[in-house]
């Protein structure tokens, strides 16, 4: 019998966020990797459950903080399916592996004095801790510095604290430092050159909850959310780059390239970012087609407000739809397969199927503002699933 297939809509998208900054500025590039590796193209039960749990917790997350990157991996999400990259901090530069997250705004790494921090993980084996005493360019941020937005009891004689919390109980807290961030600058001839810029970030002194899980722990998180305090915003304010980023996914190995600055490729299609959310990057989804036929949905179902809309988040792997949209989508996808019997695994719908899903199931197309379309093929939303 064939392995069961897991129905899960997945979108792999290019994201571009721009602001009104002007002038000639260089681009930065980061290589991004997936946190986990898939085994022979098949998902394992524990990975799917962990992935959904992570996403559900993440969608309830709220920041409480007062105050070229190449990517590698696989194009199918598994485990908690997050992207990470390596950056350099300090003088001399020390390498850190940080999660790259477009759905949050804090930038922090584990500090040398961190309490209850894991020292190794299944991803990195040995974690790296920031030691300000080992960097000659390190500087503590004081409460009277303009970058410090911490509320009382912070006063001028104290170091500036930060705290970022998660709905699943994950919490990072510590103090802010300013130090050199090392990355690669991209020039017009396609060549890169190492460069560095002073940025402010959190030095984690205490982690708890999900951030203390040694199975998936990395050195920190660099957020690219909608905020003027992100690392990207700081680079733009310093005149080092434009406040634009793009995430180009590797369709073969996952990960890909995360670039900051500008999009050089002239054939890239874009859709505007809706600027009415304090953290998330929202876009205007207009309609969904299945096999060329538009789903019949209530008017304004895709309307964007401050409390709802379609947001793009590198830290959430699956695509989540309202029940009314999801139900219509399922009916359309399985319209030619009335004999298929669905079963439930980890709150996903599963079924047994023999044959090629690409030949027997339709393409789903998401239509965004500015006539931007995103095609999702059966191999993207029907995942082979291994029962253990």
- DSSP helix/strand/coil, 154: coil
Task: Read off the pLDDT of residues 26-38 as tens digits, 9 standing for 90 and up.
Answer: 567 777 765 544 4
Q: What is the pLDDT of residue 81?
A: 54
Cα-trace Rg, the chain: 22
Q: What is the pLDDT of residue 312?
A: 82
Q: What is the pLDDT of residue 34?
A: 58
The CATH architecture assigned to 273-386 reads Beta Barrel (2.40)
The partner residues of 122 in beta bridges, in order of sequence, read none
The owner of tokens 């917790």 is 57
Both structure tokens of 379: 């191999």
Catalytic position from the list 47, 55, 86, 101: 101
Domain assignments of the chain as residue spans, ordered by start:
11-260, 273-386
Q: What is the pLDDT of residue 42?
A: 45
For residues 290-322, one letter each, b for 16 or more C-beta atoms within 10 angstroms of the residue's C-beta and e for the rest, the string is beeeebeeeeeebebeeeebbbbbbbbbbbebe
Catalytic position from the list 47, 55, 86, 313: 313
Is-catalytic flag, 219? no
Q: What is the pLDDT of residue 273?
A: 85
User: Which of 328, 320, 324 lies closest to 290 in space, CA to CA?
Assistant: 328
Contacts of 326 (CB under 8 A, 6+ apart): none
C-alpha torsion 192→197→199→204, nearest 10: 60
Biggest CA pair distance of the chain: 71
Q: What is the pLDDT of residue 64?
A: 31
Q: What is the pLDDT of residue 127?
A: 94
Both structure tokens of 147: 């970058």
Tell me, yes or no, if the two domains 11-260 and 273-386 fold the same way.
Answer: yes
Say if strands 27-34 and 69-71 run parallel, antiparallel, or are unpaired.
Answer: parallel
Task: Read off the pLDDT of residues 254-300 as tens digits, 9 standing for 90 and up.
Answer: 667 788 886 656 577 888 888 776 677 889 999 999 999 999 999 88
Q: What is the pLDDT of residue 47?
A: 52
Instruction: Give every residue of the chain whose pLDDT is below 50, as ranges.
Output: 1-4, 6-24, 36-46, 58-67, 71-80
Q: What is the pLDDT of residue 3?
A: 43
Contact predicate 383/9, CB 8 Å: no
Q: What is the pLDDT of residue 209?
A: 82
CATH number of 11-260: 2.40.70.10
How many C-alpha atoms does 264 have within 13 Å on its Cβ side?
A: 14
Is-catalytic flag, 313? yes
Q: What is the pLDDT of residue 156?
A: 65
CA distances from residue 368 to 13, 273, 284, 302, 375 in whole angstroms, order as listed: 12, 11, 6, 10, 11
User: Which of 75, 85, 100 lies closest to 10 in space, CA to CA?
Assistant: 75
Q: What is the pLDDT of residue 387?
A: 63
SS (H, E, C) 309-369: CEEECCCCCCCCCCHHHHHHHHHHHCCCCCCCCCEEECCEEEECCCCCHHHHCCCEEEEEH
Burial (Cβ within 10 Å: 0-12, 13-18, ≥19) of residue 262: middle
């Amino acid at each position: 019998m064939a392995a069961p297939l897991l129905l899960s809509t997945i979108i792999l998208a290019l994201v571009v966020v721009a602001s009104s900054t002007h002038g000639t500025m260089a681009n930065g590039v980061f290589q991004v990797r997936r946190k986990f590796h898939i085994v022979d193209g098949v998902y394992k039960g524990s990975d799917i459950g962990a992935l959904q749990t992570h996403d559900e917790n993440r969608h309830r997350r709220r920041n409480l903080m007062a105050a070229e990157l190449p990517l590698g991996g696989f194009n199918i999400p598994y485990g908690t399916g997050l992207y990470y990259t390596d950056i350099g901090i300090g003088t001399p530069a020390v390498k850190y592996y940080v999660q790259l997250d477009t759905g949050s705004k804090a930038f922090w790494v584990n500090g040398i004095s961190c309490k209850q921090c894991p020292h190794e993980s299944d991803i990195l084996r040995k974690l790296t801790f920031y030691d300000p005493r080992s960097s000659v360019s390190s500087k503590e941020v004081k409460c009277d510095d303009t970058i410090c937005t911490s509320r009382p009891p912070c006063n001028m004689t104290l170091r500036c604290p930060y705290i970022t919390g998660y709905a699943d109980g994950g919490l990072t807290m510590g103090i802010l430092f300013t130090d050199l961030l090392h990355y690669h600058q991209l020039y017009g001839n396609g060549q890169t050159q190492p460069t560095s810029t002073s940025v402010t970030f959190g030095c984690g002194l205490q982690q708890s909850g999900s951030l203390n899980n040694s199975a998936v722990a990395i050195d920190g998180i660099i957020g690219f959310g909608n905020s003027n305090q992100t690392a990207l915003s700081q680079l733009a304010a310093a005149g080092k780059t434009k406040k634009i980023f793009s995430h180009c996914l590797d369709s073969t190995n996952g990960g890909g390239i995360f670039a900051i600055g500008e999009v050089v490729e002239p054939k890239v299609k874009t859709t505007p970012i809706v600027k009415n959310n304090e953290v998330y990057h929202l876009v205007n989804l207009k309609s969904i087609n299945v096999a060329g036929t538009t789903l019949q949905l209530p008017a304004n179902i895709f309307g964007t407000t401050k409390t709802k809309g379609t947001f793009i988040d590198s830290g959430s792997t699956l695509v989540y739809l309202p029940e009314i949209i999801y139900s219509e989508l399922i009916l359309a996808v399985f319209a030619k397969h009335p004999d298929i019997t669905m079963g439930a695994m980890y709150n996903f719908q599963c079924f047994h199927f023999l044959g090629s899903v690409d030949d027997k199931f339709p393409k789903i197309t998401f239509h965004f503002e500015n006539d931007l379309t995103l095609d999702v093929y059966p191999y993207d939303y029907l995942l082979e699933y291994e029962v253990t």
